[in-house]
Amino acid sequence: MSALPEALRPWAAHLSLFPEDLALSVGAHVARLAAALGPLRARNEMEGGELQGYDGLTRRGSPERLLMSEWLMALEAPDEFVRRAAFGEQAYLRPAYRQPQGGRRTVALLDAGPDQFGSPRIAHLALLVVLARRAEAAGAGFSWAVLQSSPQTVPFSSVDAAAIGRWLKAVSAEPPTQAQLSGWFEALELGHAPDDVWLVGGARLSRLPGTERLSRVAVDEVVAPGARRLSVEVRPASRPSRQVVLELPPAPQCVRLLRDPFGTAVAAPVLDSSASAVRALGFSADGLRLLLAHNDGSVAAQALPQSPRATTPRPKRFHLVRDEALLAVGWRRSGGLIAVTLCGRTLRVYGSLKGYHKGRFVPFPLPEGIAPPRMQWSPEERPLQAMTQSHMGREIVVLLDAAGVLYRLDGRESADRSVLPIAQGVTALAERNGSLFYVARHPPDSADEDGLQLGFWTPAKSWQRPMQMGGDGAAYFGHKKDMADGEAGPLMVRHQSVHWRVLYDLRYLDQEHRSPRSTDLSPPPRTWVVGLAPWLPGMVSWPGLVVLGQDQRGFSLLAQKGIAERLVDAPARVVTATLSHSQPLLAWLTETGEVGVWSFQHRALVFRSVPGGKR
């Protein structure tokens, strides 16, 4: 932790638990809160203990401790001696006492109720560091606990990774009560005149009987448009209160502090033998689920944990019936797995579509002259996508096949159902706030050399705009937080054989006087482009490409000027990999059948599936 500023060195031992960027963020709060709390006051010199000599001078004392120089003044200048005595200017030796072990301690009781969910716990974390160091500097013991936990549990006596990890999981839906406070007072033997007890929580803590004689720290979020601050009021029992406003670190750092502050959490492998080997994978439109296609024709939707510490739920599975071929799989906007199969010349949609008669599936016969969607699930190609759009009380199914044809499956009654192409030559598809955006190329015989189009489609409106770019149409949409309605978001397109162009501000495509900002990037030879890096706060290397290296194991982030940052290594050679355009997630499938999902936000695996076991 050599990068810590000099002002944070007193807390270096505790801050060294965190990665360097989090240590600097927490350290900024620690320094301000330490100034507000002040040091733990030493015991008065007249308090008990074993006398162990003298440790300085004082202006008060008994005559036998008066300095020899003062007695000399009584002989040589008696009037000055009397004056100094009258005005309290005489110097005495100050006695030092050895306090009994455990005679002093600091106790902190933290509220883990609904008032303190989320960012207020970042202030709690900084306060624990301050109180632990404060007690250590005064030679006092330190104990802390969660108010809502059982008083029969052993309180924490240190601030380390194990204790903080248990504290992060100790959350309660109920606010603290007087019975819980009394229980902890009895369990900790605090008595009626506790030495240094701090209650940390919301304003409602001060309304509990008996808290007026305790020191309190009230933590509240600042409610204001665009505000990301905490208001902390430090109320010592015997001193005036002090107000501190803490600026929160960037959102990804806040998430890491509240979920995995030490960067040590690793997703536990899921051992699964209930299905055949995975042959292809992809993300759902919202990026919250991983869609898996198995060799036996079945598919699964695996809900993804939001952090390495979270529990992995069981997947939703779908098995084909006889004479069916799987076309596409997806996740409905209203929830639920959707699978599209082909049986003869009829498309069957499984997934309880809203607005249709209940049944095992909804059939959509192919009209005359419409070729069946192309079926091809292979590691070399992206999984075929299916999604739904709500329109006039029913769900419309949108299907992208392996030939790049985007279909619309619609019609409430059986006689009215239709399968109609929306666009052809589609190479990238993304859902943004309920709208579909896609990149399409003109047929090879088209006279338009710059034939790439950006398309927009909803059941009620659609358009296509020329991108003034050529190329084979290979494209990827990227993730960007908080996109506005009607915004396509970041996009990268291969406009030459080895060059990629990253575009953002795509809303300017239809304006003659403005054009989208862009950056050209060229990946190194014999590397494979996986997608566009997520746009996260604090990522100074944006924009960038995520590439798979020559070893087919290591993923890197390629930024401007050829700067590359190693992201993660897969445990074996990667067969296929993909990025979500809705969440900062990267997924891969290795040649050994292992599936991994890596989070850019946590810089860690959040899901890992290994063949050869049971759930």
pLDDT of 544 reads 83
Q: Which amino acid, one-letter code, is at 3? A: A
Provide the pLDDT for residue 269: 58
Q: Identify which of 254, 255, 365 has the alpha carbon closest to the alpha carbon of residue 305.
A: 255
- pLDDT the model gives residue 529: 92
CB-side exposure of 421: number of CA atoms within 13 Å? 15
- Residue 502 · residue 521 · CB < 8 Å: yes
CA contacts within 13 A on the Cβ side of 120: 23
Pairwise CA distance, residues 301 & 289, whole Å: 6
The whole-number pLDDT of residue 289 equals: 93
pLDDT at 547: 93
Q: How far apart are CA 150 and CA 147, in angstroms?
A: 8
Q: What span, in angstroms and rounded, lies between the C-alpha atoms of 372 and 341?
A: 11
Q: What is the pLDDT of residue 46?
A: 42
Residue 610 makes CB contacts below 8 A (sequence gap 6+) with: 269, 270, 271, 272, 593, 594
- State phi, psi for 315 to the nearest 5 degrees: -80, 160
Report pLDDT for 127.
Answer: 94
- pLDDT at residue number 614: 45
Q: Bridge partners of 438? A: 429, 455
d(CA 213, CA 308): 42
Q: What is the pLDDT of residue 1?
A: 47
Q: What is the mean pLDDT of each run of 10 residues along the chain (615 residues)?
A: 76 87 89 89 52 81 88 90 90 75 76 89 93 88 89 86 85 86 85 75 82 87 86 86 90 83 62 69 91 85 85 86 84 86 89 81 86 64 72 85 87 77 90 88 59 87 83 85 76 83 74 69 88 71 81 87 79 93 93 91 86 56
Alpha-carbon gap, residue 531 to 552, rounded angstroms: 15
**Do the Cβ atoms of 480 and 490 come closer than 8 Å?**
yes
